[in-house]
Amino acid sequence: MTAGPPPAGLPDQPPGTLQTPAAPGVVPRIAASLRRERDRSGISLTELARRAGIAKSTLSQLESGAGNPSVETLWALAVALEVPISRLIEPPRPNVQVIRAGDGLVLQSERASYAATLLASCPPGARRDIFRLLVQPGEARVSEPHNPGTTEHIVLSTGRARVGPATEPVELRAGDYATYPGDAPHVFEALEPDTTGVIIMEHI
Amino acid sequence: MTAGPPPAGLPDQPPGTLQTPAAPGVVPRIAASLRRERDRSGISLTELARRAGIAKSTLSQLESGAGNPSVETLWALAVALEVPISRLIEPPRPNVQVIRAGDGLVLQSERASYAATLLASCPPGARRDIFRLLVQPGEARVSEPHNPGTTEHIVLSTGRARVGPATEPVELRAGDYATYPGDAPHVFEALEPDTTGVIIMEHI
DNA sequence: AAGATTTGTTCGTCAAACCGAACGATAGGC
DNA sequence: GCCTATCGTTCGGTTTGACGAACAAATCTT
């Protein structure tokens, strides 16, 4: 996105994520994230600090919102918590799903040759969408990049297809599996009639 | 990727037991990322520092590898560069990864009639495993409950199967999708030869 | 009930992240 | 030629993040 002109100044939004009117500092979010993830793993503050190799006093202050940790500190915490660091920094993934909730919703392409059925939309807590694909040979379908951090997984059920990053697609046959970044342009082109598959879109 | 991808933001360390005295790798990666992204956007160091609202001396040292910036600093830079912050911190994710039908780590059941191939093991941060299934008719396979909170999703590719909670399985045909709790006993029984499918095990 | 652990917090110190200014270097403009 | 502008780097000074120790409160032992 953003071929947009660099509007002289204004340090505004988190890139690639949504905006919140009153730009909330990064710090309070990190504080909340640390709390949340630590609670989730059921581990104590002392123990987490020990595993991360940082002083518990530091962690205490970070969780209490006084902070602004260095990347190394935050990285160590992310490792110890076994979460990607982005989950500590970036705002909780907004529901910017292209698809409205509802079962069996079919996303018809402009061309009728491409049909994606939403099987399980991303519920709160999970971070993935699951689609069933049914595609006919023809022009390759080029997908625009999704949210940053998105990863796509494809398992081809039947048929043959050229799949992957627009720059380096690979050919898949029935049973083959491929994964690639979903936040870069990518393609899906059926090479046989009634090519079917499953796509898991994972939002890290 | 038979061994899980380390992509989601953690270094190559075994989750669970780790002592990270110093986080090696993070700072140089940030240095490289900053250079790269700034070059890509074609703006000067001075200008970037101005837009990010930080001293150019700071940015200079960061790009030269001396550093360990605070998150706020790094965030400001990510905003100014119009990239998600993860692009500055995390190692570039690998592009396409393919597991051909027949390849991959196969989890053989006691009975040879059930074969599950691990396609994408749950990387730290993500919370799902993806399997390819190839099952022959015969005795139903009963899975013991997994971790609490686990949800299973199944998309049947070919064949026919009885799937679901042990108490109330349903019959699926090619293309059908089902989801059910994975933390309760559940079954999978192929009703036709060479029944194939995809299982997503989601660990909330 | 008293002692022993473990919980999370607060305080003083040190190292370093950040800043502003000054620096030599390179590239136009008169 | 010289002057000016911008490039990126380097040098003191200030701010502050991270550490270790000491702290009170809760929990487990004995």
**Whole-angstrom Cα distance, residue A119 to residue A57?**
46
Chain A 105-164, CB < 7 Å to strand C: none
Q: Retrieve residue B192's tokens.
A: 């036709």
pLDDT at residue B104 in the model: 57
Tell me what the mean pLDDT of segment A87-100 comes to: 49
- Dump the DSSP string for A88-105: HHSPPPP---SS-S-TT-
| Cβ–Cβ gap A71/B72 under 8 Å | no
Give the tens place of pLDDT for each residue, B8-42.
Answer: 333 333 332 223 333 357 999 999 999 999 998 89
Q: What is the mean pLDDT of residues A7-32?
A: 52
pLDDT digits (tens, 9 = 90+) for B38-80: 998 899 999 999 999 999 999 999 999 998 999 999 999 999 9
For A200 and D28, how far is CA from C1' in angstroms?
A: 47
B155: nearest CB among A53, A132, A173: A132
* Amino acid identity for residue B120 in this structure: A
Q: Which nucleotide is nearest to A67 (CA to C1')?
A: D17
Cα separation of A122 and A124, whole Å?
7
Q: Give the gap in angstroms from C-alpha A49 to the nearest C-alpha of chain B.
A: 10
Single-letter amino acid, residue A47: E
pLDDT of residue A113: 60
Q: Check residue B103 and give left, alpha or beta (phi > 0: left; psi -120 to 50: alpha).
A: beta
- Closest nucleotide (C1' vs CA) to A68 is D17
CA distance B186 to B154: 12
CB proximity B54–strand C (7 Å threshold): yes
Lowest mean pLDDT among A77-81, A126-130, B45-49, B179-183: A126-130
Predicted local confidence at residue B173, as pLDDT: 84
Q: What is the dihedral of CA B130, B2, B9, A45, to 10 degrees?
A: 80
For residue B62, what is the nearest residue in chain A, using CA coordinates?
A71
Q: How far is the CA of B58 from the C1' of D13 (A)?
A: 15
Chain C: bases < 7 Å from a protein Cβ: 6-12, 16-21
Angle among Cα B95, B11, B83 to the nearest 5 degrees reads 55
pLDDT band at A123 (very low <50, low <70, confident <90, very high): low
Does the pLDDT of residue A108 top 70, yes or no? no
Q: Which of B113, B111, B136 is nearest to B190 (CA)?
A: B136
Closest CA to B27 of A73, A53, A88: A73
CB of residue B41 closer than 7 A to nucleic acid strand D?
Answer: no
- A47 interaction partners in chain B (CB closer than 8 Å): none
Nearest in space to B135 (alpha carbons), one of B172, B167, B99, B100: B172
Question: Whole-angstrom Cα distance, residue A194 to residue A26?
Answer: 47
Higher-pLDDT residue of B24, A159: A159
Q: Does A51 touch chain B (CB under 8 A)?
A: yes
DSSP strand pairing (A160-165 vs A170-173): antiparallel
pLDDT given at position A1: 31
Strand C atom within 7 Å of A20 CB: no
Is residue A10 predicted with pLDDT exceeding 70?
A: no
| Number of Cα atoms under 13 Å in the Cβ half of residue A100 | 1
